[in-house]
Structure 1
């Protein structure tokens, strides 16, 4: 005897859909946790290390001399300690480490941002 519409292969079709839904919820939750931790835990420090690495590479390639390297390194070190506005300061730090702005411009803009 037949059971009607709910019989046969259609009995367990909800199972894969439930599994996909569960995977989707877990994925969204993990993404939210990752984004939260990234923005809260040392995201700025990661950028500082990248800026310092960029500065080291520029020195190693001979783009800047030792004096300029040391000066920029000191500025970056003091900059990291006095960080109050991460977003603007991160941009400024990156531009300075890439040589897009001069030491004078870096100091002036940093002073303006922190005040």
Structure 2
């Protein structure tokens, strides 16, 4: 199987030597998406709005390959402060109202550009 780079201008461009996502076979692996608005370059800092922006970035990447949030089978959520877990979870739940994917959520010391959240996913087509 060959790897395919996935890229879209509807999500923030990579800020280092990595791709927004990779597809191999029927699997899509996204890089972590911070809450950077791709249209304005603005970093969203309030946790609920930041979670929404990160998930919208993920959604835009998946759409390049014809996938939706329903195709997501695993997520990893990185939080700069675990005290934001409840607010993040409330927004997160709206993106996965039925049969939510497996998930890990962890607090980290720091995220790129001092983001409050970063979310990566694995999806199956």
TM norm structure 1: 0.25
Which of structures 1 and 2 has the bigger CA Rg? Answer: 1
User: Which has a greater percent of strand?
Assistant: 2
Of structures 1 and 2, the one scoring higher in RCO (CA 8 A, sep 6+) is 2
